[in-house]
Amino acid sequence: MDQESVLRAAKLREEINYHNYRYHTLDSPLISDAQFDALVDELRALEAEHPELITPDSPTQRVGGAPAEGFAKVEHPAPILSLDKASSRAELLAWHTRISKLLPEDAPPLSYIVEPKFDGLTVVLHYRQGQLVLGATRGDGLVGEDITANLRTVKTLPLRIPADPDGPQPPPYLVVRGEVLILLEDFDALNARLIEAGAPTGVTPFANPRNAAAGSLRQLDPAITAQRPLHLYAYSIVTADGSVPETQRETLDYLRALGFAQPDEIAFFEDGAGDRRLDAVADYCEQMIARRNTLPYEADGLVVKIDDLATQAALGVVGGRPRGAVAYKFPAQEATTTVVDVEFSVGRTGVITPTALLEPVPIAGVTVSRASLHNFDFIAERDIRIGDRVLVKRAGDVIPYVAGPVVDARDGSQHPIEPPSTCPACGDPVAQPEGEIAYYCINAACPAQLVQKLTYFTHVLDIEGLGERTAVQLVEQHLVEDPADLYFLTKDSLLTLEGFADKKADNLLAAIAQAKDRPFDRVLAALGIRGVGTTVAQVLAEAFPTLDALAEASAEAIAAVEGIGPITAQNILTWFAHVHNRAMVEKLRQAGVKLAAERQAVAADEQPLVDLTFVITGTLSRPRDAVKAWIESLGGKVAGSVSQKTSYLVIGADPGGSKYNRAQALDTPLLTEEQLYALAGIHP
């Protein structure tokens, strides 16, 4: 045996024991689960090759970490073991091959049950005469911590079983194993509350649901635990005085009948020959990898168990791991690495977005070197710094993002991330409007914004042949100052661009010309007003049938439209207030772009409100500008004050006294909004 192997084994034991302590005792890991598993796998391989390297303190000879101080120690009635793992179909089949050799030759085909491998905190619950008397953490698998007072606050944990009086009677003594976790929806709400309370109290949000659950259960004050949205799933019986189910499937049904919550994602496999059953199990595991991000909780894999518990027990335990079950691990979606620097980019609306530049790290099969930091409030809330070791997540195809720093890894060399004072693209000042999270470049002619605005405009209006590369060329050659300039491009100007010849220029000009026929709501969406995408634009186009009507509307009128809030309303007002934007609208008008909703022409003799003049007072169900446009489309007129020429006064909620009094004095007929629609014979 070489000295290098001896030194490496000693180093691995030291690192693994330390990270075990960080994870199980302090609930403050410095590395991800996948990185920890890699260290353990390397040590196992070394010890398999050189058995003489195995020492009593090797992490491979124990189940987990030591109990923390502050809670009474609890000895478990039976070892609370962890599982061997598989991460592929081949490794799952290899597990089956190993256990098959230990079974009698005439043994019937095995049936399997597959359960979620929750990413929470394992707990052991003791019931005597149906009453919860003790709850403990897993600890090192032999001795845990007494957290009974905290567990009593978990609403999904029955204090007495059966929870339903008509349920099955439990044995006099029953010990159940389960997992306490926080559902993802509850986790987001919890962090939102902590962030809101963070300014006055210094509370910081949790990096992930697992840390949140573990930290909540290990509070010395149960009142704090009671405020956390903890959830319990129970999945096995550790021991019992009396008869218990003989299969895992029956065990889960029995626990459910006693009142313990069960996840929906449990699959049972008993049909077909043995090999086909295992193939079906492997197929299911692979399918669940794609579904993992749709689960209501965090799971880092699945647990494949032999359904028959007697067979499980007969297979025994090796290396502290039962042979009758295996953990099928999902590809890691998170890892820890270091923030090397921060890069700032400018979006089409001028928003400055921070992106972390990272030491490259593999996550879910992809090497990640950049990750989103969301915004500067997010950075401040989590106190993320350049030089920090951070937890980076990549869920499915979502862009990787920094979840938070590993504060205990700091050595004093880290420094804060500050918003830039000038735009990284044009050098003009950066501003943060009052009440907003984002920082903006306030230069409307910023080239970075213009490129993004052009590509967004062409995407919404389906202008083929104008991608980002062409947009960059148009901006760099000063051929466009805003998207409306696209309609005034000439063939000669396009031929000056690299890569353009006659056919390509003709095709692009034809595509731009065709875009003039796009409906008004698409044009409105293409303008790039913050908060006004295609769906919101459709709603606005119904309420304000022309761009001029929208431009002249008040913030109150816009916000009154169902689905449009005050922030979007203010964004619209702010957009139309800019001289540059109004100039662009005029260029669009000159180009013949549709700035009004198309309505079917109505014959004069079919206009039910022709020759009628209306005055409106009070608040109607739709913005007043929208009602005015509707009345005019049916031949009527809308005046601002009551006079002898007024045909009707339309009264909404909280009407003004002056118009009402004037109408009373002139005997002007009054209409409710419903009566107005009835008069027209149609609903708008």
Please report which confidence band the pLDDT of residue 449 belongs to, taking 50, 70 and 90 as the band edges.
Answer: confident
What is the per-residue pLDDT across 354-364, written as a single tens digit (0 to 9) for each? Answer: 999 999 998 87
What's the average model confidence in pLDDT over 185-211?
70
Burial of 44 (0-12, 13-18, 19+ CB in 10 A): middle
258 vs 600 pLDDT, higher one:
258
Tell me which of 112-116, 323-327, 452-456 is least confident. 452-456
Taking residue 654's Cβ as centre, other Cβ atoms within 10 Å add up to 8
Mean pLDDT of the chain: 86
**Both tokens assigned to 486:** 């696209």
State the pLDDT at residue 221. Answer: 82
Which positions ≥6 away from 345 have C-beta within 8 Å? 352, 353, 355, 424, 448
Residue 24 near residue 4, CB atoms below 8 Å: no
Asked whether residue 64 carries a pLDDT value surpassing 50, the answer given is: no
CA distance 579 to 555: 18
Q: Residue 579 — left, alpha, or beta (φ > 0 → left; ψ -120 to 50 → alpha)?
A: alpha
Tell me which of 83-87, 165-169, 304-308, 431-435 is least confident. 431-435
What's the average model confidence in pLDDT over 45-68?
71
Q: At what angle do helices 89-100 and 274-291 cross, to 10 degrees?
A: 150
Asked whether residue 601 carries a pLDDT value surpassing 60, the answer given is: no
344 vs 56 pLDDT, higher one:
344
Query: Hey, is 401 helix, strand or coil?
Result: strand
In 582-622 the beta strands, taken as DSSP E runs, fall at: 613-617
Asked whether residue 426 carries a pLDDT value surpassing 90, the answer given is: no
CA distance 343 to 371: 10
State the pLDDT at residue 506. Answer: 93
Q: At what angle do helices 468-476 and 447-460 cross, to 10 degrees?
A: 140
What is the per-residue pLDDT across 177-187, written as a single tens digit (0 to 9) for each? Answer: 999 999 998 98
**C-alpha closest to that of 381 among 188, 184, 187, 199:** 199
Asked whether residue 530 carries a pLDDT value surpassing 60, the answer given is: yes
Burial of 660 (0-12, 13-18, 19+ CB in 10 A): middle
Query: Hey, is 288 helix, strand or coil?
Result: helix
* CA distances for 65 relative to 29, 58, 61, 68, 299, angstroms: 12, 12, 12, 9, 21
Active site residues: 117
State the pLDDT at residue 327. Answer: 95
State the pLDDT at residue 664. Answer: 87
Asked whether residue 388 carries a pLDDT value surpassing 90, the answer given is: yes
Tell me which of 115-129, 242-256, 397-411 is least confident. 397-411
State the pLDDT at residue 602. Answer: 46
What's the average model confidence in pLDDT over 258-271?
89
Tell me which of 389-393, 613-617, 652-656, 670-674 is least confident. 652-656
CA distance 676 to 348: 43
Asked whether residue 275 carries a pLDDT value surpassing 70, the answer given is: no
Asked whether residue 267 carries a pLDDT value surpassing 90, the answer given is: yes
What is the per-residue pLDDT across 365-387, written as a single tens digit (0 to 9) for each? Answer: 788 999 999 889 889 988 999 99
Which positions ≥6 away from 113 have C-beta within 8 Å? 248, 249, 252, 266, 267, 268, 269, 304, 305, 307
In terms of pTM, does the model score above 0.85? no
Among 174-178, 196-200, 220-224, 268-272, name the most confident range: 174-178
**C-alpha closest to that of 237 among 229, 228, 227, 247:** 247
Asked whether residue 600 carries a pLDDT value surpassing 50, the answer given is: no
What's the average model confidence in pLDDT over 548-557?
87
What's the average model confidence in pLDDT over 179-204?
73
State the pLDDT at residue 273. Answer: 59
